[in-house]
Amino acid sequence: MQSHHLRRLLVTEPSLRHTASATAVGRVAHAARLRSVVARLARVEHAPLLVTETRASVRDGLHRERLVLDSPLRGPFPGTLLAPPGVTRGPAVLVLGGRNARLDQLTGDVPPDHPDRNVAEHLARAGFVTLSFDHGIGGGLDEERRAGRDEGTLLAHAFALTGRSLLGALVGDALGALDVLAAHPLVDPGRLGLFGHSLGAAVALHAALLAPREALPLCAASHLGSYQALYARLLTGHEGAALPGILEYADLADLYSALAPAPLQLQYGTADAHLEPADARAAADTVRAAFAAAGAPVEIHELAMGHGTHVGHAANFFARSLAGDAVTACDVPAQRIRFEVSERRAVLDRVDAALASGVLTQGPQVARFEELARTWTGTETVAVASGSAALEIALRIVGVAGRTVLVPVNTFFATAASAVRAGAAVRFVDIEPDGLGMDPDALRAALDRHPDTAVVLPVHIGGIVSPALHAVLAHCHERGVPVVEDAAHAFGATLDGRPAGSFGRFGAFSFFPTKVAVSGDGGLLSAALPDDLEQVRRWRDHGKSAQGSTLRDRPGGNWRLSELHAAVGTVDLERFANTLAARRERAGRYDALLADVPGIRPHAVPDGSDSNFYKYLAHLVPDGALDRTPLKKRLRERHGVSLAGEVYDHLLCDHPYFTRSGRPGRADGPFERARRFARHHIALPLYPSLTEAEQLRVVAALRSELP
């Protein structure tokens, strides 16, 4: 019997339970992994809700607004907002009722059939603005064809056909309703809470896990225990209250535990026929232990009640957790890489296709990655393992061994190290301050000093292709010296409409996770000459002499890009136009916000250059007025704002490798322009998921800390 098969499955411990760590960092990482799993399984479509109709009234001492909420996914559905008299910008709670909850009973518009059914009304009378809405899982299917079967069950099965879940749809509604509540003029958006009973508690729990606003206080009533008990022993679990596949990763108590240290109250009744008291008690102990490990309090009430709610405990919980000032906003990180659930599923599908085919390197995903990249490089491309590999391959093809390679003194160590590994002597050139590129006059002098120069290696710092590149190219052309562009920062950037990487013989790009386009790790070489591209293909594959041959004619390396990395890269490149537009839009917003902030000057992108804003650069003024290191520390500790890494804080000539006896380059200094830039610039957080509110917070923090 299949019930025997089910019992065997249920004895397996959820996999993420084994990854929990005793350290604070480990607990945060574990909770993040669990939230990520929930997001992937729920596949929530967080569509904005429009309020298309409002009818306001005052009855029984409460302000009442009957709303029509319009969802592009679900269509119009009713909601009710309640508010205490005279409230302005007060705390608010989204109230999510159980499976059979009626909106008019939740809000007290009609007498409830049980004393605790009108939770929204009770909380409004306790001083909270509340919003409630209809779940929409009753009355939507034809009653005759339904033939007495539970509508929620039928909907859950139908959602499963699409690879989605009824719970995910309900959570999407809840997240949209939270946005409506936060935007209401009577509500303080920094003091929001979630209440849920039974099925509503499951929806509230998952909404709390997935809400962009972290640390939302949650009160969950009559939804506690283990999934094994609810869905196998008691058979009381509703399909809409759990995500398909979740038990492979976590049980119900683990999901509550992942909320720590956010305020949490759980209620369950010892006379609840839907729960098993011993099972609920064990789950409660798991949650208590998790919150204790996080150093956070949790309220868990075991009550002599049935499948209900203790509204007094709920009201007291929200009074404590939503009291005082607005909830502190989350930190603004220096970098945030975000793949939406649909994009993550696309990556997983492509990885699965690679695993199923057995082709794990240099297969169709890599070919697709190269094809997509051509849109942004303007020339044919070959994918390789990293940006450093791209540089080294290009330099080996040109032939730099025993000769000099000129690089800007202000760049990442890998630029110079790639030349060293290719057998060259590296010498340094100062930068020009406007486009942060190689200074043409300094380059001309370096070419005079080093007539054996094999390659000039300009770098497009911060995503800016400097107009000075034209003069650099002219000097090199005049002397017959090839140019290899280090465009690791500059994918998608242009100069006079021409893409980065298309000016020299080769363009080398990086797809490391911090870059504007990512593949987990990876690199790319662009070139105009078909023979150069063929040479790259041979070098990347251990010097293979020809496609399909087992003979080698050069000492190549394992510089191939895997199909798994390419699966990430293709999905990222398919969205890159939106990524680029978002970065430029946020950079423009910083320009406007910083216009009147003293002590800081945004770096102006030169005319003709269209930056990808790999970094949003700004200068602390006047030079030397403020030490960057303590400023970054104050911004992080006082304001929760982390600045991005500099480009760069140390010049190449100051790295220990190049300061050792016998290493040339330092004497070419003093590199005054590069030193000034390295010492006095900062890089503000900038990425597509950066919100306007976060940018306002960054600028406010700078305004408060700059002299």
> Is the pLDDT reported for residue 327 higher than 50?
no
Q: Which of 187, 364, 404, 225 is nearest to 302 (CA)?
A: 225
Query: How many of the other CB atoms lie within 10 Å of CB of 379?
Result: 18
Sole residue written with tokens 């972290």: 214
- Is 0.85 surpassed by the pTM of this model? yes
pLDDT at 146: 85
The residue behind tokens 């917070």 is 697
- Terminal CA-CA length for the chain: 75
Complete domains list, the chain, with CATH: 2-321 (3.40.50.1820), 341-575 (3.40.640.10), 577-705 (3.90.1150.10)
Query: What distance in Å separates the CA atoms of residue 285 and residue 221, rounded to the nearest whole number?
Result: 16
Q: What angle do CA 695, 494, 616 make, to 5 degrees?
A: 20
Number of C-beta neighbours around residue 46 at 10 A: 20
521 contacts: CB under 8 Å, gap ≥ 6 = 385, 386, 511, 512, 513, 565
pLDDT digits (tens, 9 = 90+) for 152-196: 888 989 999 999 999 999 999 999 999 999 999 999 999 999 999
Q: Which residues are CB-neighbours of 534 under 8 A, at least 6 positions away?
A: none
> Is there a contact between 390 and 384 (Cβ–Cβ < 8 Å)?
yes
The predicted model gives 273-286 an average pLDDT of 96
Query: Around 140, how many Cα atoms within 13 Å sit in the side-chain half-sphere?
Result: 15
- 397-401 — which CB contacts under 8 Å span 24+ positions? 397/506, 397/532, 397/535, 397/536, 397/539, 398/454, 398/455, 398/482, 398/484, 398/505, 398/506, 399/454, 400/424, 400/454, 400/455
Kindly tell me if the per-residue pLDDT of 329 is higher than 80: no
| Residue 332, amino acid | V
DSSP string, 312-335: HHHHHHHHHHT-SSPPPPPPB-S-
Tell me the per-residue pLDDT of 437-451, one tens digit each, with 9 for 90 and over: 999 999 999 999 999
Query: Residue 193: which H helix or E strand, with range?
Result: strand 187-197
Looking at per-residue pLDDT, the higher value among 442 and 331 belongs to 442
- pLDDT tens digit string along 597-632? 999 999 999 999 999 999 999 999 998 778 999 999
- What percent of the chain has a predicted confidence (pLDDT) above 70? 97
User: What integer best gives the mean pLDDT of the chain?
Assistant: 93
